[in-house]
Chain A
Amino acid sequence: MRKLFLPLTVVAAGMFMMAPFLVDGAPYESTMGLVQKIFYFHVPSAMTMFVSAFVCGISSAVFLFKGRPAADRLAVAAAELTSVFGIIVLVTGPLWARKAWGVWWVWDERITSTFVLWLIFNAYLLLRKYGGAGSERLAAGLAIFGMANVPFVYWSVNVWRTLHPKTTVVPTLQPGMRGPFWFCVTAFLLLYVLAITARAHLEAERARLEEIYLAIEE
């Protein structure tokens, strides 16, 4: 991964620079017009947030049941990224909603459950920062519950009546919209892989530093 890191970073940067041009060339949606273009960054951010919540939950489970420190470091990195992509989803969504629905925010099932998911991963990060000794195991349990919340967030639009577009939107995208959308998804996921690699490396370096200090004290 270390050899591939720089070339992949260049590819990701290039994709993010190219994305606005592709989005600009995509056709306008008939009822929402220009504001629907927020979709091309909003949904890939949400997908990345879901992936990150799963990475955090699974690595937390591995840490909890197998006791592997590397899994815990990956979980911390994934929780932070879930929070970052979550805030992107929660800000770009209302910007789109204001024009499409006439309101910034609605306490409907999809939006509220996304907000709760984001809060869970922020709680995880707060617990890791201020929880003291042993908080990593408690946080790991919280991350598993956070991950379990993801399918509910995803299916909420199909089960309850909400203003939010349903999950059928993405599979039924028109060809002109499909290309730019999946291009943006690839760019977001590539950036995610790079960011989580760098963030997990930061945790590993911190652990190494802590070990050295402990060795000095002894």
Chain B
Amino acid sequence: MTNWWPGRAVRALLVAAVLALSTPVMASQPPTAAAQDGFVPVSRAAQQETIPAARLVVIAYGFVWVMLLGYLWSIWSRLGKVERELHAVSRRIEAGDRR
């Protein structure tokens, strides 16, 4: 009597094929948690999800302004610091030369 059960390699291929085919099916299932544990009223869910677009736009534009002004101020401040140091060093050198 021949053994009808396929070899190890074929079995592995079959398992892989079943898994590969079942993935899109499983992925297409709707999320189950909310539906199984209880129903959420639409109005409440909608309130949670809604973020006014105006707020996002104002935050975005405000952020750009703050970043750019902050960066320009940082260049100006660093430049001022280096130039003050340059002046101080130059004065020290001049004073040293006079002595």
A-B contact pairs, 16 of them (CB 8 A): A16-B65, A16-B68, A35-B57, A38-B57, A38-B61, A45-B64, A84-B71, A88-B68, A99-B53, A195-B72, A198-B75, A198-B76, A201-B79, A209-B82, A209-B85, A212-B93
Decide yes or no whether B14 CB sits under 8 A from chain A: no
Number of interface residues of B (CB under 8 A): 27
Chain B 58-96 against A: per-residue CB contact (8 Å), 1 yes, 0 no? 011101110110011001101100110110011001000
Most buried by B among A91, A95, A199: A95
Q: Are A208 and B78 in contact (CB under 8 A)?
A: no
Structural contact, A199 and B82, CB atoms closer than 8 A: no
Task: List residues of chain A with CB within 8 A of the CB of B61.
Answer: 20, 38, 41
A34 within 8 Å of B (CB atoms): yes
Interface size on A, as a range, is 20 to 34
Question: Are A91's CB and B83's CB within 8 A?
Answer: no
* Bound Cα distance from A96 to B60, whole angstroms: 8
Label chain A's interface by main secondary structure: helix
The yes or no answer to B42 lying at the interface (CB within 8 A) is no
**A45 / chain B contacts, CB cutoff of 8 Å:** 64
Which residues from 60 to 106 on chain A have a C-beta closer than 8 Å to any C-beta of chain B?
84, 87-88, 91-92, 95-96, 98-99, 102
A205 located at the interface, meaning its Cβ lies under 8 Å from any Cβ of chain B in the complex = yes
Q: Look across to chain B and name the residue whose beta carbon is closest to the beta carbon of A194.
A: B72
Q: Is the CB of A95 within 8 A of B72?
A: no
Residues of A within 8 A of B71 (CB): 84, 195
